[in-house]
């Protein structure tokens, strides 16, 4: 009888603890959130703000790339029929090739950025995609915010590729012209080589906007380190230590 009563008591205690744990887990799951919904401003809000001002930022967004391509074109113009040694046929031919390369690369990047500036409006297109989406449930709001984040990140990825490809090609063209042109060509080519780095120091606004949004999310959901007391060893005595806390 005593054994049965003891077993019954243990079973009752086990059931109570299980219920307590399940309620605790349930409350924990209810408390979970998503960085897309906690960041301020949200991706959809930032997308709306950028869409309104997108056309006002066209020249500042593409300015560094335009200046870089124009510098290469000026160097190519100065290089035309200006070899370092007009009596050497190989140098004359290489100078002609370098000039054509300068025109092709400088002109190509100029046309590319003019077309992007006039036709490519990723924020306006992204906002038009999300503004009609439903926002009734948390799932729908989360889907909307994630699509908005994609609209912020996609132009940044494109801008990063264009930035480095432009820098490398303009720098190579300037170096090629510098190798076979006369003294004036070398000066213009050196300037073009220096200006080809402008997009690295003054990148597309797309890249800055995406990085800012990522920084806002990181500040909210990043780990926080601090000093705390830890129980270590067999005695389980409190000892000073470094704790890392994740806010989720």
Give a yes or no: residue 234 inside a domain: no
Q: What is the pLDDT of residues 149-176, one digit of tens each?
A: 999 999 999 999 999 999 999 999 999 9
Give a yes or no: residue 13 inside a domain: no
Q: What's the maximum distance between 2 C-alpha atoms anywhere in the chain?
A: 118
Count of helix runs (H) and strand runs (E) in the chain:
10, 2
| Percent with pLDDT over 70 in the chain | 75
Give a yes or no: residue 65 inside a domain: yes
Give a yes or no: residue 228 inside a domain: no
Give a yes or no: residue 237 inside a domain: no
Domain around 62: 37-222
14 pLDDT higher than 70: no
Give a yes or no: residue 248 inside a domain: no
In which band, very low, low, confident or very high, does the pLDDT at 28 lie, cut at 50, 70 and 90? very low
How many separate domains does the chain show? 1
Give a yes or no: residue 202 inside a domain: yes
Mean pLDDT score of the chain, rounded to an integer? 83
Better-scored residue on pLDDT, 164 or 132: 164
Task: For residue 225, give the 3-state DSSP assignment.
Answer: strand
Give a yes or no: residue 30 inside a domain: no
Give the separation between CA 233 and CA 28, rounded to whole angstroms.
30
Please answer whether residues 123 and 47 qualify as being in contact, where contact means their C-beta atoms are separated by less than 8 angstroms: yes
List, in sequence order, the alpha helices (H) in 54-137.
58-79, 89-119, 122-130
Q: What is the pLDDT of residues 102-117, one digit of tens each?
A: 999 999 999 999 999 9
Distances in Å between the Cα of 132 and the Cα atoms of 40, 46, 129, 138, 154 are: 21, 16, 7, 16, 20
51 pLDDT higher than 50: yes
Distances in Å between the Cα of 90 and the Cα atoms of 87, 97, 141, 237, 245 are: 9, 11, 66, 82, 67
31 pLDDT higher than 50: no
């Amino acid at each position: 009888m005593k054994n049965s009563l003891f077993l019954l008591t243990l079973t009752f205690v086990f059931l109570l603890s299980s219920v307590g744990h399940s309620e605790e887990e349930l409350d924990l799951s209810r408390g979970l959130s998503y960085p897309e919904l906690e960041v301020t401003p949200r991706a959809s809000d930032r997308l709306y703000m950028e869409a309104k001002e997108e056309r006002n930022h066209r020249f500042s967004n593409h300015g560094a790339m335009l200046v870089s391509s124009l510098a290469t074109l000026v160097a190519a113009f100065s290089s035309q029929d200006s070899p370092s040694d007009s009596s050497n046929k190989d140098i004359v031919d290489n100078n002609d090739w370098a000039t054509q390369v300068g025109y092709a690369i400088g002109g190509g990047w100029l046309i590319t950025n003019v077309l992007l500036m006039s036709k490519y409006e990723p924020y306006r297109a992204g906002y038009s995609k999300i503004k009609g989406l439903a926002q009734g449930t948390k799932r729908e709001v989360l889907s909307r915010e994630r699509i908005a984040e994609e609209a912020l990140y996609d132009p940044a990825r494109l801008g990063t590729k264009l930035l480095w490809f432009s820098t490398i090609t303009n720098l190579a063209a300037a170096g090629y012209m510098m190798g076979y042109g006369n003294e004036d060509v070398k000066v213009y080519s050196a300037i073009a080589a220096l200006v080809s780095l402008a997009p690295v120091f003054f990148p597309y606004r797309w890249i800055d906007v995406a990085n800012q949004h990522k920084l806002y999310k990181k500040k909210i959901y990043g780990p926080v380190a601090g000093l705390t007391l830890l129980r270590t060893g067999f005695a389980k005595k409190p000892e000073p230590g470094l704790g890392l806390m994740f806010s989720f």
